[in-house]
Amino acid sequence: MTSISRNLVASTLIGALVLILGQLLVLYFVERGELMAKSDEGLEQQAESLATLFRLNGQEIEFGFDELLIPETARHTGVTYYQAWGEDGEVITRSPSLGMMDLPSRFGQDGRPELWNLRLPDESRGRAVGQEFAVHQVSASAEQDGHPTSERVILVVARETDSIRSTLWRFILTDSLVALCGGVVFAIYLVWVIRSLLRPMTKFGEYVEGLEADKLAEPLPALSLPKELTPIAASFARMQQRLDESFQRERRTASSMAHELRTPVSELLTMSDVALLHADEPELALEYLGEVREVALHMRDLISTMLSVARLQLSPGDLKPCAIQCAKTTLEAWRAYEEKAVRKRIRMTASLDQELVVSADEPVLRSILSNLLANAVEYTSDEGELEISLSREGEQAVLRVKNTCAGLEAGDMARLTEFFWRHDGARSVGDGHVGLGLAVSKELASVSGMELELSLEESTFIATLRIELDSSAIGEKAKR
């Protein structure tokens, strides 16, 4: 499992390590450059000092070496090599350290010294400087004797550079140790800082972990969250509210369902008990047996309805949309309730676009239409008004069922689609109504891609069903 603090510590430490290594590398090269420059400077000074020891005496170039005269040589701890050549290329002198070996004869142009790396006779790595300079006659008589006034001499001085490398390594080692200690301290500090910064998140996590379903309605406690976590906390609070509403809805549904099941079970029990009490009156006992059967059938229907909705929710793939003449299907559904509407002297008006062909699963559409119309006829008061309209709005067919219905309030609209919820006034309506019709219709519509909206305008209840038009029908309409 990924851990923000672990990842933060690891990535920061890796970043810091790369930075330190880079810094060490840069320091190494800078230091190395400086040491080499100083070494070269020393080497050049040494070569210049040695050059002063050459003198031309007549035809002979003499070299008078004295360590006291060349303090740079004395200061240098390693072995110094030097060799000098005359104009004719003959070796004038060489350091005893060279033995019989030669140094390369190189020098810079125009009197400038040339510096280069080389392998010394003892196979160690070294640095050499070569320069050409003039040696002048020391006595005036020599010039008179026809000797040249000056001779060119090539001098090469070399010395080992291992001491520079060891100095550099000491430097790198010291720096690395300092960096390592610093890194450890930095890592500890980093862990502490990250843990401190993430503590509100940990607390938030603990709060979420310990949040029980019955505490969802309680507001989020003050956790002094940082700015970055505030939007997450706000989103969580909104989700908490939605969950709470959903749980409340579930609880209400469960409670209503329990109530709706307890009542028919009570009916069954009481009617059976009373039928047994009247065992001496077979006609009455038979009458109750019939009633018991009716209740059992009603319970079966109720369970079947719930199961079919649940089945569709689980596998919406079972739906088989086809082209349906919506007006015709609506009128067919209406026929089942027409008689009751006449009996209640309900004034019904219908305005249906006969040409609209919709795409829907036919049993589902019929079930929704049946529920909406049954609901409208049932809850419209005697001599009330019922209006059914079907029209096209964009790519949808819109069916509206409007009926006068006293007692409903705007706040009831959301609860009308809760399973088993019934408005107080609806309880006085005949047997068989348990508050499922609109809830089932809403679920069926939702599962099958239709939209069902419920609204209230003064005392008129409006159920609006939006159904997708069949694509072939849309094409034909467009052609016309």
Minimum distance between the CB of residue 295 and other proteins, rounded to whole angstroms? Answer: 7
**Whole-angstrom Cα distance, residue 105 to residue 109?**
13
Only one of the segments 219-227, 258-266, 350-358, 454-462 lies at the binding site for other proteins (rule: CB under 8 A); that segment is: 258-266
By beta-carbon proximity to other proteins, the closer residue of 13 and 268 is 268
Examine residue 286 and tell whether it contacts other proteins (CB under 8 A). no
Only one of the segments 13-21, 141-149, 222-230, 426-434 lies at the binding site for other proteins (rule: CB under 8 A); that segment is: 426-434
Only one of the segments 41-49, 117-125, 213-221, 284-292 lies at the binding site for other proteins (rule: CB under 8 A); that segment is: 284-292
Examine residue 41 and tell whether it contacts other proteins (CB under 8 A). no
**Whole-angstrom Cα distance, residue 160 to residue 215?**
81
Burial class (CB in 10 A: 0-12, 13-18, 19+), 390: buried
Examine residue 285 and tell whether it contacts other proteins (CB under 8 A). no
Q: How far is CA 122 from CA 44, 73, 79, 161, 258, in A?
A: 22, 19, 10, 12, 103
Examine residue 258 and tell whether it contacts other proteins (CB under 8 A). yes
Only one of the segments 136-144, 163-171, 261-269, 356-364 lies at the binding site for other proteins (rule: CB under 8 A); that segment is: 261-269
**Whole-angstrom Cα distance, residue 238 to residue 245?**
11
CB–CB of 86/153 below 8 Å?
yes
Examine residue 178 and tell whether it contacts other proteins (CB under 8 A). no
Q: Provide the angle, in degrees to the nearest 10, between the axes of the packed helices 362-379 and 437-447.
A: 150
By beta-carbon proximity to other proteins, the closer residue of 15 and 432 is 432
By beta-carbon proximity to other proteins, the closer residue of 285 and 462 is 285
Pick the binder of other proteins from 133, 204, 288, 334 (CB under 8 A).
Answer: 288
Examine residue 424 and tell whether it contacts other proteins (CB under 8 A). yes
Pick the binder of other proteins from 266, 315, 351, 471 (CB under 8 A).
Answer: 266
**Whole-angstrom Cα distance, residue 258 to residue 268?**
15
Which tokens is 447 given? 């599962």
Give the interface size with other proteins as a residue count (CB under 8 A): 26
Examine residue 213 and tell whether it contacts other proteins (CB under 8 A). no
Question: How long a stretch of residues is the chain?
Answer: 480
By beta-carbon proximity to other proteins, the closer residue of 37 and 297 is 297
Examine residue 248 and tell whether it contacts other proteins (CB under 8 A). no
DSSP 78: S
Helical H segments across 97-161, by residue range: 140-144
CA nearest neighbour of 244 among 221, 219, 220, 213:
213
CA nearest neighbour of 45 among 86, 73, 10, 17:
73
**Binding interface with other proteins (CB under 8 A):** 258-259, 262-263, 265-271, 273-274, 277-278, 284, 288, 291, 294-295, 424-428, 431
